[in-house]
């Protein structure tokens, strides 16, 4: 029998109302809480509890508090990645962030795609669609990146933008929905 977690990891429709997934979310909440309540003079760039649940955090990656993630296990941060305060990663699917990427405050990345049929959505059905952020990307404060998006290396996403389409390498996008600037 295939578990809901296995369905989630495969990108299939799964029920998020599940004991195993709930336990993983609670572990992530505890880790984010520990990170958010670290004394300011603590050595290191993140609480050990948060570092332990992340899929990968490259050398020099910094996550400012507060930070929220759904699971943590699906987040892969490259070297020298910087996440400013208030970022939230809903990592039902893989979120990959390339080396040197920088995020302003309050950036959200969403992998969860809830079912479009109201009756199935009410039952907790969703699917996880990965997000990929390239190297040396700058994401302005308050931007939202939707499920399945790929952002190419060296791109810039303007503050407050809602990214609903892939962003080519080196492009600058702004607005809601985000559009490529000439």
Active-site positions read: 114
Contact 111, 145 (CB under 8 A): no
Among 56, 104, 110, 73, residue whose Cα is nearest residue 88: 110
**Which one-letter DSSP state was computed for residue 170?**
T
Return the percent helix, strand and coil in the chain, to nearest 5: 20, 30, 50
Return the sign of the alpha-carbon dihedral for residues 44, 45, 51, 57.
negative
Distance (Å, rounded) from C-alpha 30 to C-alpha 60?
23
Distance (Å, rounded) from C-alpha 146 to C-alpha 131?
8
């Amino acid at each position: 029998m295939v578990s809901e977690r296995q369905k989630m990891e495969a990108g299939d429709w799964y029920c998020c109302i599940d004991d195993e997934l709930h336990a993983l979310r609670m572990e992530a909440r505890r880790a984010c809480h520990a990170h958010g309540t670290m004394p300011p003079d603590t050595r290191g760039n993140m609480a050990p509890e948060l570092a332990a649940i992340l899929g990968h955090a490259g050398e020099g990656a910094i996550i400012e508090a507060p930070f929220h993630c759904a699971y943590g296990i699906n987040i892969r941060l490259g070297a020298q990645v910087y996440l400013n305060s208030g970022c939230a990663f809903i990592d039902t699917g893989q979120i990959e962030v390339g080396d040197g990427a920088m995020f302003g405050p309050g950036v959200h990345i969403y992998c969860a795609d809830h079912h479009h049929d109201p009756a199935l959505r009410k039952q907790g059905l969703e699917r996880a669609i990965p997000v990929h952020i390239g190297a040396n990307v700058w994401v302005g404060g308050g931007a939202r990146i939707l499920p399945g998006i790929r952002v190419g290396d060296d791109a810039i996403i303007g503050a407050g933008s809602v990214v609903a389409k892939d962003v080519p390498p080196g492009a600058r996008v702004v607005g809601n929905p985000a559009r490529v600037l000439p």
